[in-house]
Amino acid sequence: MVAVMQVHTAQLAGGENNADRVFVTENAVIVLDGATAFEPVDVDPGTYAETLGASIADQLDAAPDTNLTQAVAEAIQNAAANLHLRGDASPSSTVSILRVRREAVDLYALGDSPIYYGSGRAVHRLIDDRLAVLPLIERARYVQALRSGAGYSGNHRNLLKRLQRAQGALRNKPEGYWIAETDPGAAAQALTAAVAADQIDWAVLATDGAADLIDHHGSPEWSAVAQRDSDGLMGLLCQIHEWEGVVDPEGRLLPRAKPHDDKTLAVVQGFCPPA
């Protein structure tokens, strides 16, 4: 069973190491964003995302129609075992998947790496925003500090540490949010959709480091992003990276945890169901 789809990708690290990952199988695209750790964790978030994504991709290569929730749950379990992770000191990662089947295109989002998709200029979005909407005072404080011009100071890092502690107390809990870490049960809490094959002809999977900037500017439209090849996507990432550094280096206009986050875009074009 082979699905015909064109995939173009681009990645730009926010710093020395990029914790984003992209995997492409015959009928699926997987994007992961290893979460930056402002306090020590047992394994580098990029290593965790690499291990997790490789396990998902291997399962989809072996069985393209496998249940996505089961594949992610098994990958979480495998990564935790192979990397000897502890729940209280484990890195975490988002997982977004697009999988082409004969009747439909499956979408899966665990964590805040969005999937934009549509037909023509019509745009839809699947995003897991449960972390963003938690009423955490620590987030409000760091955003307020950046807007006031405090910049990326030592105090900013302390605020982020407090925020991560508050988030950690709500991680993978019904009253909080869900993310890939050490609990395989989190996989079942993802947001999912099945889009009829004749209702979709493009999709863009993104990490928040890219998506937040594109949404902030409102340009280009996601349907236009979906028409770019890898060079065009890289040009866009460089453009928004430059805006961060030149126009908004202190995060006043768009408050964000870091001056530059890792940025990833994966465009899927030319959908054709498996033969």
Whether the pLDDT of residue 18 is over 60: the answer is yes
Any residues with CB less than 8 A from the CB of 139 and at least 6 apart, and which?
163
pLDDT in tens, 162-171: 999 999 999 9
The phi and psi torsions of 76 (rounded to 5 degrees) equal: -60, -45
Contact by Cβ (8 Å): 267, 214: no
pLDDT in tens, 30-72: 999 998 877 778 899 999 999 999 999 999 999 999 999 999 9
Any residues with CB less than 8 A from the CB of 142 and at least 6 apart, and which?
156, 159, 160, 163, 255, 257
Please tell me the predicted confidence (pLDDT) of residue 274.
63
pLDDT in tens, 150-201: 999 989 999 999 999 999 999 999 999 999 999 999 999 999 999 998 899 9
Percentage of the chain exceeding pLDDT 70: 97
User: Residue 148's CB: how many other CB atoms inside 10 A?
Assistant: 10
pLDDT in tens, 74-110: 999 999 999 999 877 889 999 999 999 988 999 999 9
Structural domains of the chain, count: 1
> What's the CATH code of the domain at 32?
3.60.40.10
Omega prior to 273 cis, within 30 of 0: no
Please tell me the predicted confidence (pLDDT) of residue 16.
85
And the tokens for 16? 């020395």
3-state helix, strand, coil in the chain (%, to 5): 35, 25, 40
Whether the pLDDT of residue 246 is over 60: the answer is yes
- Quote the CA–CA distance of 232 and 220 in Å, as a whole number: 12
Contact by Cβ (8 Å): 258, 33: no
Percentage of the chain exceeding pLDDT 90: 85
Confidence of residue 1 (pLDDT cuts 50, 70, 90): very low
Please tell me the predicted confidence (pLDDT) of residue 150.
94
And the tokens for 45? 């978030």
Nearest CA to 105 among 196, 201, 25?
196
E strands, the chain, where? 4-12, 20-24, 28-34, 93-100, 104-110, 115-118, 124-126, 191-196, 202-206, 263-272
The pairing of beta strand 191-196 with beta strand 202-206: unpaired
Sign (positive/negative) of CA torsion 251, 254, 258, 264? negative
Q: Averaged over 123-141, what is the pLDDT?
A: 95
Tell me which residue range forms the domain holding 185: 4-272
Please report which residue ranges of 177-272 form alpha helices under DSSP H: 208-217, 222-225, 230-246
Q: Averaged over 229-246, what is the pLDDT?
A: 98
> What is the C-alpha R_g of the chain?
18
Exposure letters 172-190 (e unless 16+ CB within 10 A, then b): beeebbbbbbbbbebbebb
